[in-house]
Amino acid sequence: MTLRSVAVVAVLVISGCGGDDEEPVASAEPTMTAQAAAPTVAAPTVVPPNATATATAPAPGATEVAPTVEPAATAQPKRDDGCPTGKPKSPPPADLAIAPGATVYASQGSNVFLAAIEGTAPGDTRDAAARALEEAGFSLRSSEDRQDAAVATLEGPASAVEIRVSPLCPGKLQVTYTVT
């Protein structure tokens, strides 16, 4: 059963459609005729990173619903707790010092590397990742706390690196290293 079918059934059940065992109640609000279709209500759609969307045609009489989202072929396998697992397709550059305790689990091309690390404090983790790069010869250029992530930019002899730390799954943070 699709989400759309579930939504239609839920609207019909909640509105009491399908039964005539109650007396009609007078109301000052406009009523719908038996021929009018109840609009469907779509649940919020969560779009994972690296996802592709496919559109589906709405059922007759139904309101248009957000497109169905299917994970892209590059999506990482996940454990039971929702944390991604895997190995990067490309290894990080030799001069990219990864934060102690972090595990690189994915890469996007040859310049973006995703790592998972235990923790719940993005700012502290960003600072630890920046220290590791400073010890490898990089210089801190900026550091800020944003609404969705803790971010730092460092510059090294051959490249610059942006570190972005954000929640990943329960008890873990994602550290994204973007090398330019």
Q: What pLDDT is stored for residue 70 in this prediction?
A: 38
Q: What pLDDT is stored for residue 171 in this prediction?
A: 92
List, as one string, the DSSP characters of 50-75.
TEEEE--PPPTTPPP-PPEEEE-TTP
- Phi then psi for residue 96, to 5 deg, are -90, 100
Q: What pLDDT is stored for residue 59 in this prediction?
A: 55
Per residue in 124-144, pLDDT tens? 999 999 999 999 999 999 999
| b/e per residue 76-92 (b: at least 16 CB within 10 A) | beeeeeebbeeebeeeb
Question: What is the pTM assigned to this prediction?
Answer: 0.57
Q: For the chain, which residues score pLDDT lower than 50?
A: 1-47, 50-55, 65-75
Distance, in Å, from the CA atom of 110 to the CA atom of 127, rounded to the nearest integer, reads: 24
